[in-house]
A and B are shown apart, each in its own frame.
Chain A
């Protein structure tokens, strides 16, 4: 908002570091500390220690301050590092104030200057230099573009920073002003002064509304309570006072005239009743420098020259001292409660800032500076930022890191918030609290988790923090514990700089001291140690088994297994590493740069940022989206980048899905930001040459703007830009640039000025587009060019026309030219004549042999006939006649190029192997082998030699060497021999029991035996249980069962495969090595499907097919295994159903074979109706039997079938027919005697198809399918199931293990 007025500030903002205000006096050099050499040449002039109260007056005055430059202070070595965000170098800073919303801070200096800084960009925005002498107090207004300052010139000034003006000055104090502060609500300013008073001013009426008297020494500070009508003040009179200003507020709220107030004020002066002392807090032994309220609790903290910080408590009636914090070595200059954490921050002239635990009242941390005394502290009203002013500048810092540790895995992001591990699901946008994590044992700063690594398969989380000098904690989260916050798991802990998962169940821990990683398993046991190739200070994931090691100036990817560096890249110090989802690209984020590289760390591009890079994520198209402190930006694969949007507060991107950016904010809240991705998607499409996308985006979206056009032009896509441009001149230029002559012509017509036509002509000529060249020349009336164009294109008639035009225009020269082009000598003579150039005309005529004309001219010339040179043959300038007059030359195809071949990016051939080099290797290898064998041979020979030679005589030294060499082989063999010896002792274990054998041992189910391949036992079982004798139909089933029972595992190459038994009923919790029954390839549910198919075939009248199906069911059932008793019953039921159908269908087929025996046909049809069938089939069977009997005039039987049909809820047509039959058959007799008595219940013999009436003795049945037969069939194979022997003894179907229990 106020940026506009500040934009013209001369401070250079470009590099984010430097800001040198102009016209500044030498002492107030504003230079960032880190740009100065540590031993800068400032003269060291020690200041006297701060004097006690009276001499304090003589402490450095404005004039002396200039000399007060000293060596730059640095942080003490032993002090912990503070998270410095920004630092300035200036004169002594006495007052500080944060802007509540913008990243600005005011610093008031001892030199009298007030500086306004942008601490985010690191630039000096403005300076206000109207105070005379040190400015000790400064404060931003909460909502208005105002700030107030108070100085040693006794003046309080109110400024408008937008207009860069001091609005007015409040006079009244009679001595130095120590602090000034706006009220958060009322138009008040409270000021504290060395005149021993505190004053409250109304800055709207510009009057003093209250004077608070009571302190009897300098008042060092005064401030409003953030909520209540209280003021706290600290004074060198060794007291802290709390003032009640409730009366003042009441007065303000009630409408009252300010003028009236002024008079009232005067009466109230030095005894006012508007503000009364509520409490006087006594306890400090020396002057108190600072006192401030707790933001929410009734607490006060004060700091004094007695080097103590005191904590006070108050209630409605009294206030008392609670505790004293000792530790500062010199006067405490400023102290305050931290707004968000339970800590107290104080600073002191002992050159330190101290952090105290407000509850335990112990020191937590000390930040020390070597040479600079601290004077002032300020806290940001909203953000987690602090600022401290010291002798040579100020620093903006924070105590705790605010980036939540997080890790994205699939659809979720795991992160830590408020000591809880949580995850957030992107698809549902739901947050779940997973488990609490450990609180750090010691109270200290920055112990919160820094990084988080997650292994999805094991649901394990690895959290690293700086606690205990760098440590990690491993949590394995049970899958069902989500949401159970009470569950606290004992984490496995360890020390290490950084730790990260490198595989599903392995994580690597960096051991900085030895520069190696320890690979650990989930039990936290060390599995492997590996030294690292570069001096690593952090490690990151880089694909399974790989680590990305980060050193000061480089990163490397290290393969832990091979111990190989797979890639290395020079980068600025990397802070965060973001891999694309396909792990092909990686973004390395450092403080001020983003480096994009491939998975082998081949550099792709680097982006530099002036302000800090915070986070990033890859979108699915390979665009990297990242955030800086105040921007969200994109980076295309080629390094093009741009801003997507501006950010108010820093965010941490976790994931990008299309236009949606998911991020975490500093409070650990997940947010979804929708952005307009069209710009970078468009640019990406261009880059990838996906012109179809480009075109559709152009058509469908509003992608306009100069930026896109210039981008397109710059990137060599003027023709694409053409589609955006409305402005004709730009359009014309782009058209020329892209060679699109048509559009250029259209634009030129619109513009219609000479220059554009001219340029069009040039381009058209370049392209050979003659028509347009002509048109352009015509429009520019460029007749010379036009005529020449006609000449060279062969349009001589047009040249003639041009000649005429030239004549009309009295353009003699042009006319002559054209005549020359035409080779028309007569014309030329005529032109010359008309121009009065008679001698020339004469010469021309003579030369061209136009004797008549020459004579005529000669006559006109009279004596002046020029003499022609003699004795010279002349060659005439006659242009050759054009062979053909042509139109355009073949045109360059300019337009197509860019839109063609957009899809060629896919699969280029992989790298060819270097055959030559490999060949060389081969050669080497061969040689080596030969060498080796030679050595062996030589060795052998030599050995013999020596043995022979030894008894004779020694060979001398060389022989001795030989000897030693030769003794080596037996030595090296010794261990091997012993290995062999061991092998002799080794007894191989006896082979174990194959799983299939276990199956058969445990089971009495035929199917399981068959699966195990034990066909004989399977058969024996079937024979015993079902009396099955004929196994031939079962063969394919047995083989399939057996085949489907084992899978094949290829282990080592060329070794036999391992066959692995497939077991039934696998579950996640099944314990290993406990064998289950085999998984059978035939299941009951399959049979049900087959039954349906068989029904269908029956309905359709495909009887052989149906029969086959039913029989196959019957054949499969013996080897079926089901799980429950209920299913056993279902199986038995199925046998019955199928049996009936098989019988019925067999009879029906038999009936169709019988052509002649109509009686038998009717009988079979009648028996078919006796089978238990589905209703739909029953109706068909009945209808067919009815028709057959009716036709054969067996009316009684037909009527019976008709009746039965009607009972079976037939369709209307069937019913009508049945009724007709009934009617026709009424009271009529059968004409044939059938062996069919429907009144007497019967079953049909499965083999002979004769009825076996109830009560008839001696029928036999099939032990398996239960079909009934006449006694004579006993001992034969059942014709229905084709498996069992009729009448055989059998124990019954056994198809479930439950039957055995």
Chain B
């Protein structure tokens, strides 16, 4: 605990969504810091996950060879899962199950993290939790928080958050998870979420993630004008950021402004985004309901 964490900056960049910064800084971990093999593996894991986060799935798939360590293999599976069609997904999931069933590797935290993430995408929350519920590191706990939130079980999410707070209340992930929970809980908690994002933006370089967080809080507090400003700032940083586009769509709608352009941009940039999917399914359900009424 007392020894400085050389990967701190790297991890932190990754958590707050500064993926490019994470990628560049992974190349320049201080020279004096003699990284242990574990650290090196961690570093690579974050590097590849950053690439996934910015959508460079193919790069990750290409770079992680068959001989790479299990955690990296797991990351590759995630890239594969996110990049491809249904077939790819299936094979990724089945390969993942294989890895998980292997007693020697099945408990690796990164593997479990990836499993949780993939099963979350599969909407199989029970399966996801099966691998992540025991925690083990901050990220797994944070993922638990997210899964519970996704399951609309804010009560469980709060419990996980409390575990995180006990471990390290000031950890960036704890702060973020706290903000997530606050945001979902709503009410007066939204202000606290806003303050957390505000703190983060003061402490670290602003990222789309943080700006989106702030904008979300503003929107939920009914302040769509402010939110629009924040989202436009975020769009300035990354014109293709899916969440920014999605939230801008929502925000514009609420302001009574045309939102189709953002929606179309989103459809182009990220056809798999929840908002896009939700809209197409809403479209279908409308038509179905219409028919039922007829």
A: which residues have CB within 8 A of B? 457, 503-504, 506, 519, 521, 527-528, 531, 543-545, 560-564, 913-915, 917-918, 921, 924-925, 928-933, 969, 973, 976-977, 979-980, 982-983, 986, 988-989, 991-995, 1013, 1015-1016, 1018-1020, 1023, 1029, 1031-1032, 1035, 1038-1040, 1042-1044, 1046-1066, 1068-1076, 1079, 1081-1083, 1086
Chain A minimum-CB-distance residue to B222 = A1066
Chain B minimum-CB-distance residue to A544 = B203
B27 and A915 contacting across the interface, CB-CB below 8 Å: yes
Q: Separation in Å of the A671 CB from the closest CB of chain B?
A: 31
B254 and A1058 contacting across the interface, CB-CB below 8 Å: no
B49 and A1053 contacting across the interface, CB-CB below 8 Å: yes
A1060 to B212, CA, bound (A): 12
A531 and B103 contacting across the interface, CB-CB below 8 Å: no
Specify which chain A residues have a CB less than 8 angstroms from the CB of B216 in the assembled complex: 1047-1049, 1060
Chain B minimum-CB-distance residue to A1073 = B185
A527 and B293 contacting across the interface, CB-CB below 8 Å: no
Specify which chain B residues have a CB less than 8 angstroms from the CB of A1050 in the assembled complex: 17, 209, 212, 243
B170 and A1053 contacting across the interface, CB-CB below 8 Å: no
A1048 and B243 contacting across the interface, CB-CB below 8 Å: yes
A545 to B199, CA, bound (A): 10
The 9 closest A-B pairs by CB, nearest first: A918-B27, A992-B152, A1044-B253, A976-B107, A1070-B187, A1016-B289, A988-B126, A1072-B185, A1072-B187
A1060 and B183 contacting across the interface, CB-CB below 8 Å: yes
A1031 and B290 contacting across the interface, CB-CB below 8 Å: yes
Specify which chain B residues have a CB less than 8 angstroms from the CB of A503 in the assembled complex: 170, 199
Chain B minimum-CB-distance residue to A924 = B40
A1126 to B292, CA, bound (A): 35
Specify which chain A residues have a CB less than 8 angstroms from the CB of B268 in the assembled complex: none
User: Residues 169-210 of chain B: 1 if any A CB is under 8 Å from the residue's CB, otherwise 0?
Assistant: 111000011001011111111110001000100110000010
Specify which chain A residues have a CB less than 8 angstroms from the CB of B250 in the assembled complex: 1043-1044, 1046-1048, 1062
Chain B minimum-CB-distance residue to A915 = B27
* 20 A-B pairs whose Cβ atoms sit less than 8 Å apart in the complex: A528-B170, A544-B199, A544-B202, A913-B27, A915-B27, A925-B43, A929-B67, A933-B69, A988-B126, A988-B130, A989-B148, A995-B152, A1016-B285, A1031-B293, A1042-B282, A1048-B273, A1049-B183, A1059-B274, A1068-B191, A1072-B188
Q: Separation in Å of the A387 CB from the closest CB of chain B?
A: 49
A1076 to B169, CA, bound (A): 30
Specify which chain A residues have a CB less than 8 angstroms from the CB of B44 in the assembled complex: 925
A519 to B134, CA, bound (A): 28
A528, A918, A1049, A1083: the one contacting B180 at CB < 8 Å is A1049
Chain B minimum-CB-distance residue to A1015 = B289
A1189 to B246, CA, bound (A): 57
Specify which chain B residues have a CB less than 8 angstroms from the CB of A563 in the assembled complex: 2, 4-5
A1051 and B180 contacting across the interface, CB-CB below 8 Å: yes
A986 and B253 contacting across the interface, CB-CB below 8 Å: no
A994 to B41, CA, bound (A): 38
A1068 and B142 contacting across the interface, CB-CB below 8 Å: no
Q: List 14 additional A-B contacts (Cβ < 8 Å) besides A528-B168, A544-B203, A1047-B246.
A: A976-B107, A986-B130, A986-B133, A1013-B278, A1043-B278, A1044-B250, A1048-B246, A1051-B180, A1052-B117, A1053-B53, A1054-B117, A1055-B121, A1062-B250, A1070-B187
B93 within 8 A of A: no
A932 and B2 contacting across the interface, CB-CB below 8 Å: no
A1029 to B247, CA, bound (A): 33
A921 and B153 contacting across the interface, CB-CB below 8 Å: no
Chain A minimum-CB-distance residue to B246 = A1048
A1076 to B190, CA, bound (A): 14
A973 and B183 contacting across the interface, CB-CB below 8 Å: no
Q: Separation in Å of the A294 CB from the closest CB of chain B?
A: 54
B243-293 interface with A by 8 A CB criterion: 243, 246-247, 249-250, 253-254, 256, 259, 263, 273-275, 278-279, 282-283, 285-286, 288-290, 292-293
Specify which chain A residues have a CB less than 8 angstroms from the CB of B275 in the assembled complex: 1043, 1048
A1053-B180 contact given A560-B170, A925-B40, CB 8 Å threshold: no
B28 and A914 contacting across the interface, CB-CB below 8 Å: yes
B162 within 8 A of A: no
Chain B minimum-CB-distance residue to A928 = B37
A527 to B27, CA, bound (A): 33
A256 to B233, CA, bound (A): 89
B52 within 8 A of A: yes
- Identify which of B50, B82, B134 gathers the most chain A CB atoms within 10 Å of its CB: B134
Q: Separation in Å of the B89 CB from the closest CB of chain A?
A: 13
Specify which chain B residues have a CB less than 8 angstroms from the CB of A928 in the assembled complex: 37, 40-41
B239 within 8 A of A: no
B129 within 8 A of A: yes
A933, A977, A986, A1040: the one contacting B103 at CB < 8 Å is A977
B209 and A1029 contacting across the interface, CB-CB below 8 Å: no
A1056 and B41 contacting across the interface, CB-CB below 8 Å: no
B219 and A1062 contacting across the interface, CB-CB below 8 Å: yes
B37 and A1086 contacting across the interface, CB-CB below 8 Å: no
Q: Separation in Å of the A1011 CB from the closest CB of chain B?
A: 11
A1039 and B279 contacting across the interface, CB-CB below 8 Å: yes
Chain B minimum-CB-distance residue to A1071 = B187
B31, B43, B290, B293: the one contacting A917 at CB < 8 Å is B31
A1039-B286 contact given A1054-B53, A1059-B274, A1060-B216, CB 8 Å threshold: yes
A561 and B171 contacting across the interface, CB-CB below 8 Å: yes
B131 within 8 A of A: yes
B8-52 interface with A by 8 A CB criterion: 8-9, 14, 17, 19, 24-29, 31, 35, 37, 40-41, 43-44, 49-50, 52
Specify which chain A residues have a CB less than 8 angstroms from the CB of B126 in the assembled complex: 988
A924 to B37, CA, bound (A): 9
Chain B minimum-CB-distance residue to A940 = B104
B286 and A1015 contacting across the interface, CB-CB below 8 Å: yes
A1200 to B189, CA, bound (A): 66
Specify which chain A residues have a CB less than 8 angstroms from the CB of B186 in the assembled complex: 1061, 1063, 1066, 1070, 1072-1076
A958 to B36, CA, bound (A): 28
A989-B156 contact given A561-B171, A1049-B212, A1054-B82, CB 8 Å threshold: yes
Q: Separation in Å of the B69 CB from the closest CB of chain A?
A: 5
Specify which chain B residues have a CB less than 8 angstroms from the CB of A1086 in the assembled complex: 256
Specify which chain B residues have a CB less than 8 angstroms from the CB of A531 in the assembled complex: 2
A921 and B184 contacting across the interface, CB-CB below 8 Å: no
User: Residues 45-72 of chain B: 1 if any A CB is under 8 Å from the residue's CB, otherwise 0?
Assistant: 0000110110000000000000111000
A545-B170 contact given A928-B37, A1044-B254, CB 8 Å threshold: yes
A583 to B35, CA, bound (A): 32
Q: Separation in Å of the A919 CB from the closest CB of chain B?
A: 8
Specify which chain A residues have a CB less than 8 angstroms from the CB of B190 in the assembled complex: 1066
Chain A minimum-CB-distance residue to B294 = A1029
Specify which chain B residues have a CB less than 8 angstroms from the CB of A969 in the assembled complex: 104
Chain B minimum-CB-distance residue to A986 = B133
Q: Separation in Å of the B98 CB from the closest CB of chain A?
A: 15
Specify which chain A residues have a CB less than 8 angstroms from the CB of B203 in the assembled complex: 543-545
B88 within 8 A of A: no
B129, B155, B212: the one contacting A988 at CB < 8 Å is B129
Specify which chain A residues have a CB less than 8 angstroms from the CB of B249 in the assembled complex: 1043
Specify which chain A residues have a CB less than 8 angstroms from the CB of B182 in the assembled complex: 1072
A980 and B28 contacting across the interface, CB-CB below 8 Å: no
B188 and A1052 contacting across the interface, CB-CB below 8 Å: no
A915 to B250, CA, bound (A): 42
Specify which chain B residues have a CB less than 8 angstroms from the CB of A976 in the assembled complex: 103, 106-107
A1052-B286 contact given A973-B103, A983-B134, A1043-B275, CB 8 Å threshold: no
A1125 to B105, CA, bound (A): 64
B134 and A1068 contacting across the interface, CB-CB below 8 Å: no
Q: Separation in Å of the B183 CB from the closest CB of chain A?
A: 6
B94 within 8 A of A: no
Chain B minimum-CB-distance residue to A1089 = B256
- Identify which of A982, A993, A1072 gathers the most chain B CB atoms within 10 Å of its CB: A1072
Specify which chain A residues have a CB less than 8 angstroms from the CB of B107 in the assembled complex: 976-977, 979-980
